[in-house]
Amino acid sequence: TTLSDGWYVVKGSVLLMSKITVNGTVHLILSDKASLSVPGVQLSKDNSLTIYAQSTDSDTMGSLISTSATLGQAAIGGYKGGSGTLVINGGVISATSTQSFSAAIGCGSSSAYASAYSCDPITINGGVVTASSGANAAAIGGSMNSPGCTVVVNGGIVTATAGRNG
């Protein structure tokens, strides 16, 4: 599933069987009580994703659940390389990478040459964000052999758990 330049609204429960690929500047609104479950959100360099919640009440705001089981693919972010700009303004965001070299939110890598890639900034302004990475990667940021990225948290509740050597 590819999301290109524009605004998208999630309503109800949506389960996608393929990852989302962000192409351009994408704005994603999670309606109250909506749920979007995907096997990864691929955000390549020079693209951006901004996530919004319809409301700020953690009991009603919509959710994005992204779980990647692909080596080198962040649950939300890059695949075997750099990642684009990510801004989370709200929502209940759960990002889990189960493989090595896979940040939950940020960059993914599967080779020693990942240092040639970079991860654009990640900004969290609100919401409830839970990130859990595989081995050899940060929960939010870069993976082994990548230069990492700038992570700015201005608000919200953030829980980040890295795997072994993360």
Which pLDDT does position 83 carry in this prediction? 79
Which pLDDT does position 147 carry in this prediction? 63
In single-letter form, the type of residue at position 72 comes to G
Could you state, in chain order, the average pLDDT of each consecutive group of 10 residues for the chain (166 residues)?
96 96 96 97 90 93 92 82 87 92 80 58 95 88 75 95 84
Residue (of 133, 138, 131) closest to 65 by Cα position: 131
**CA distance readout (Å), 72 to 6, 44, 92, 134, 146:** 27, 13, 24, 10, 11
**Tens-digit pLDDT profile for residues 14-24:** 999 999 999 99
**Tens-digit pLDDT profile for residues 139-166:** 998 877 666 778 999 999 999 999 888 7
Which pLDDT does position 154 carry in this prediction? 97
Which pLDDT does position 117 carry in this prediction? 60
